[in-house]
């Protein structure tokens, strides 16, 4: 395969081979019929979407049980457990499932399936259980091992295909492994690190992943799903938007604070808002599979504006964090999970009423969690509980709706 230039966010030129994200790769002319009992382990999106959505719906309840003292004294507790599990449990599982699925098409090579995929899922599940026990070192080893193992699983097909354009995803998974290692080493008292430094690094990595993937797929999906939308990208703006996220990550590494951080976050917000406006979001209102991604991406500049205000001391930092985690991460995840589940199981790329209900519930969860405390800080507890209920309902609905979709073979015959 020809060398593909760096950086990973470069715009495709007409001479480039088109990138297909979700189409099924070529199969033999007469493939054997898939075994219904093995459908769950055909591709990474199947087990990890189910596990992530079910866990996301349940985790809020587990957090409440921790606060009530009904889980004894687990290794990770309270807000740190909540942040750890939302990032390294829920969000990372979806990212890994997506990358193992899309990576097969990007590299034209097989990715994990069968028992190796089941083993990776079991490793993820063990991490979720161990953080609720007193066994800190075991929890640390397993949670560090999951993104590291996923990076290796992704590196094998990418390197074999010389798919250099996507090597940076391997590096980002390794960064996630380093971030969770930092959290556990600090929690175990092995090293002295600033509080929540690993969480901040992981949030920046997730922001960069969403910015890169959003720039790749949202304009394409907009043009494919909305005739005449004419969503575009500008090369210089792409570099500024993505480069500013990397600078923000570096700023967190060196513990930049105050007005300098506020200025950097403000510049980043303007770049991402300008980038988003080129995707013509106002033309997507009648296409739920597209508008959910557009609305979710809008939460990125909202997060960055709130982060700038928090750095200046004008709002609580948690508002910026939840704009990113509930609004952007939650919205993009629910949108991509419905779309890829439909596409890779041979179903029409058209949202039904259950899908739209999921989108609305997650969007409302973000609005309630961010804007109610912003307007009325005394309602923070009510806003948190209301947002948690909406979030859990959205992902519980996805789990119920897509259980049979993800555990049964494709409806059009081939494996996948």
Residue-wise pLDDT for 214-255, tens only, equals 999 999 999 999 999 999 999 999 999 999 999 999 999 888
* Residue 415 pLDDT greater than 80, yes or no: no
pLDDT of 264? 96
14, pLDDT greater than 50 = no
Distance CA 212, CA 63 (A): 31
Query: Which residue, 163, 193, 223, sits at the end of a domain?
Result: 193
272 and 328 both lie in a single domain: yes
Residues 150 and 277 in one domain: no
Q: Is residue 77 assigned to a domain?
A: yes
For residues 241 and 365, membership in a common domain is answered with yes
Do 406 and 258 lie in a common domain? yes
Residues 306 and 386 in one domain: yes
Report if residue 162 sits inside a domain.
Answer: yes
Q: Are residues 240 and 327 in the same domain?
A: yes
- Is the pLDDT at 351 greater than 90? The verdict is yes
- Asked if residue 184 and residue 274 are part of one domain, the reply reads no
Is 223 inside a domain boundary?
no
Where is mean pLDDT largest: 6-15, 30-39, 82-91, 188-197? 82-91
Residue 265 lies in a domain: yes
Q: How confident is the model at residue 1 (pLDDT cuts 50, 70, 90)?
A: very low
Residues 174 and 273 reside in one and the same domain:
no
Confidence class of residue 59 from pLDDT cuts 50, 70 and 90? confident
Question: In this model, does residue 137 exceed pLDDT 70?
Answer: yes
Average pLDDT over residues 340-354: 93
Q: What is the pLDDT of residues 167-177, one digit of tens each?
A: 999 999 999 99
Please tell me what DSSP assigns to residue 284. Answer: -
- The total domain count for the chain is 2
Q: Are residues 112 and 258 in the same domain?
A: no
The whole-number average pLDDT for the span 360-389 is 93
Question: Based on the domain organization, do 268 and 378 belong to the same domain?
Answer: yes
Residue range of the domain that includes 273: 234-410
Given 171, 193, 215, the domain boundary residue is: 193
What distance, in Å, lies between the first and last C-alpha atoms of the chain? 24
Least confident of 6-15, 124-133, 174-183: 6-15
Same domain, 186 and 284: no
Residue 330: half-sphere exposure toward Cβ, Cα within 13 Å: 31
**pLDDT interval class at 16 (50, 70, 90):** very low
How much is the pLDDT for 176?
92
Would 174 be classed as within a structural domain? yes
User: Which residues 6+ apart lie within 8 Å of 15 measured at CB?
Assistant: none
User: Are 238 and 189 found together in one domain?
Assistant: no
Q: Look at residue 248 and tell me if it is in a domain.
A: yes
Residue 198: inside a domain:
no
Q: What average pLDDT does the structure give for the chain?
A: 88
Q: Among 132, 164, 193, which residue terminates a domain?
A: 193
Is the predicted pLDDT of residue 286 greater than 90, yes or no?
yes
d(CA 130, CA 89): 12
In a domain, 334, yes or no: yes
Rounded to 5 degrees, what are φ and ψ at 186? -70, -40
**What sign does the dihedral 325-246-13-104 (CA atoms) show?**
negative
Number of Cα atoms under 13 Å in the Cβ half of residue 88: 40
């Amino acid at each position: 395969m020809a060398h593909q230039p760096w950086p990973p966010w470069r715009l495709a030129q007409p001479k480039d081979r088109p990138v297909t994200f979700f189409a099924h790769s070529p199969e033999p002319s007469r493939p054997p019929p898939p075994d219904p009992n093995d459908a769950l382990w055909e591709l990474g999106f199947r087990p990890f979407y189910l596990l992530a959505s079910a866990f996301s719906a349940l985790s809020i309840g587990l957090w409440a049980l921790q606060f009530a003292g009904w889980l004894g004294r687990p290794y990770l507790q309270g807000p740190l457990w909540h942040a750890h599990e939302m990032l390294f449990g829920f969000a990372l599982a979806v990212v890994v499932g997506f990358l193992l699925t899309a990576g097969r098409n990007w590299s034209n090579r097989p990715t994990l399936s069968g028992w190796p995929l089941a083993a990776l899922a079991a490793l993820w599940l063990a991490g979720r259980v161990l953080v609720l026990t007193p066994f800190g070192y075991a929890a640390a080893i397993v949670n560090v091992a999951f993104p590291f193992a996923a990076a290796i699983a992704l590196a094998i097909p990418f390197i074999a295909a010389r798919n250099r354009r996507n090597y940076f995803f391997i590096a980002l998974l390794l960064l996630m492994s380093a971030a969770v290692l930092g959290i556990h080493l600090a929690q175990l008292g092995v090293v002295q690190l600033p509080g929540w430094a690993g969480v901040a690094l992981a949030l920046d990595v997730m922001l960069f992943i969403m910015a890169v993937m959003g720039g790749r797929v949202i304009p394409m999906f907009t043009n494919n799903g909305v005739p005449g939308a004419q969503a575009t990208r500008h090369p210089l703006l792409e570099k500024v938007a993505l480069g500013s996220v990397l600078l923000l990550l570096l700023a967190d590494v060196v513990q930049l604070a105050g007005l300098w951080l506020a200025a950097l976050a403000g510049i980043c917000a303007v770049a991402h808002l300008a980038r988003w406006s080129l995707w013509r979001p106002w033309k997507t209102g009648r296409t739920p599979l597209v508008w959910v991604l557009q609305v979710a991406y809008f939460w990125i500049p909202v997060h960055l504006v709130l982060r700038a205000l928090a750095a200046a001391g004008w709002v609580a930092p948690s508002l910026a964090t939840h704009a990113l985690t509930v609004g952007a991460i939650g919205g993009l995840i629910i949108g991509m999970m419905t779309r890829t589940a439909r596409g890779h199981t041979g179903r029409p790329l058209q949202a039904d009423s259950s899908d739209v209900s999921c989108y609305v519930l997650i969007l409302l969860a973000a609005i309630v969690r961010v804007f109610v405390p912003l307007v009325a800080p005394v309602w923070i507890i009510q806003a948190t509980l209301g947002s948690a209920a909406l979030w859990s309902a959205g992902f519980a609905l996805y789990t119920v709706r897509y259980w049979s979709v993800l555990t049964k073979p494709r409806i059009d015959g081939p494996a996948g």
